[in-house]
Amino acid sequence: MNRFKILHQDFKSAARGGLLSTAHGEVETPVFMPVGTSGAVKGITGRQLKETGCGLVLANTYHLMLRPGVEVVEKLGGLHRFMGWDGTLLTDSGGYQIFSLSSLTKVDDDGVEFASHIDGAKTYINAEIATQIQNRLGADIIMCFDECPPFPCEISPLKQAVERTINWAKRSKDAHANGNQMLFGIVQGGIDLSLRTYCAAELTKVDFDGYAIGGLSVGEGQDNMIKTVEHTAQLLPADKPRYLMGVGMPADIIAAVRAGVDMFDCTLPTRNGRNACAFTEDGPLRLRNSSHTEDGKPIEPGCDCYCCKNFSRAALRHFFNVGEMLGPIMTSLHNLRFYQRLTAKIRQAIKEKEFDRWAAEELKKIDY
């Protein structure tokens, strides 16, 4: 059963607007997912997330399986209840974090043994275990276990990572045992377009519910990233959702939508918010700057978020300077609303078949 419908298509680009139907509601695409690494979007409640326009949140399998553990989440009623979130939820497989955060002690074709970044305890995971954990957590969309190679990467280990990713994807599908969940395969291959072509072809044979483009935004540079996305997106089935993992600069989102991508996630809105950096249509706003000491304007005049309706730049600067948690929370809230406003504009432009023109104008003025 295909739970994704394309409703609108731009005339002059590959951009499309769709509807993703899940067990916890329908989500319009293109969509941006805030990241709830350990079961929470830092400092933000589920109600506040909904007020920003968010309908889909990502949680991190690696972190949740280490703390509090899948048994605890399961006992307490599943991840939705644990997070206090009744909207759509996606969990990643943990592969990226295992290869980037942990001290790997053994990697072979079967799976990975790694040392926890928390206490060094050795843990083993493979495609079957990662899938079973996600089945038990109960998210609406889950990801195949994959090997995310670093950048740069020599051709031999890059090819090996692609082969393992394909093999682990097949095993993930065989192990998948929760029919309420959609399972996405992940295309790897670095910036080697021939490997991306090969990986995409092998994964589409398996017939997943959706497909992700992984292994980007790891140091390859914007030009290489966009070139790889443009190449890879068109290799994926047109009737399935396409998800670009971990990419979140506004200009990158617009360029990827133009290439036919439907879904995005990134920690930028909340990470930047915690560091006193606000996103606005006029570019980044650094709230610690002394120029805001007596500035009575909101972060972004015209923004309808709770922060902009209630707090001045001067107040937010003060909160950051005195270590008051309201500063990071309110700035994160504004940034999350900024991203939801951005994707709403993208969807509207696609619906009006004006996206290509709108995107060209937006990319000329955008400062991100």
Pair 253, 264: CB distance under 8 Å: yes
pLDDT of residue 152: 94
pLDDT at 107: 87
Number of folded domains in the chain?
A: 1
Predicted local confidence at residue 367, as pLDDT: 73
Q: Could you tell me the two tokens for 175?
A: 């192990």
For residue 252, tell me if it sits in a domain: yes
The per-residue pLDDT for 106 is: 87
Q: Return the pLDDT at 202.
A: 98
Residue 203 DSSP SS3:
helix
**Does residue 250 lie within any of the structural domains?**
yes
The residues assigned a catalytic role are: 92, 265
346: left (phi over 0), alpha (psi -120 to 50) or beta: alpha
Indicate whether 210 belongs to any domain.
yes
Domain hosting 70: range is 20-266
Q: What is the pLDDT of residue 95?
A: 82
* 139 found inside a domain: yes
CA dihedral 308, 313, 314, 318 (to 10 degrees): 90
Q: Is residue 353 part of a domain?
A: no
Query: Digits of tens for pLDDT over the chain (368 positions)?
Result: 789 999 999 999 999 999 999 999 999 999 999 999 999 999 999 999 999 999 999 999 999 999 999 999 999 999 999 999 999 999 999 888 888 876 767 889 999 998 888 888 899 999 999 999 999 999 999 999 999 999 999 999 999 999 999 999 999 999 999 999 999 999 999 999 999 999 999 999 999 999 999 999 999 999 999 999 999 999 999 999 999 999 999 999 999 999 999 999 999 999 999 999 999 999 999 999 999 999 999 999 999 999 999 999 999 999 999 999 999 999 999 999 999 999 999 999 999 999 999 999 999 888 77
pLDDT confidence of residue 100 = 80
Domain-located, residue 232: yes
pLDDT of residue 366: 82
Q: Give the model's pLDDT for residue 241.
A: 98
pLDDT score at 94: 83
Specify the pLDDT at position 365. Answer: 85
Q: Which CATH number goes with the domain that contains 245?
A: 3.20.20.105
Map residue 230 onto helix, strand or coil.
helix
Helix (H, G, I), strand (E, B) or coil at 140: coil
Phi, psi of 226 (to 5 degrees): -65, -40
pLDDT at 274: 98
Q: Which of 340, 326, 321, 222 is nearest to 273 (CA)?
A: 326
Please tell me the predicted confidence (pLDDT) of residue 311.
98
- Best CA proximity match to 3, nearest among 240, 245, 351: 240
Residue in this structure with the two tokens 């030009």, named with its chain if needed: 223
In a domain, 11, yes or no: no
What pLDDT is recorded for position 108?
Answer: 92
In the 8-state DSSP scheme, what is residue 8? E
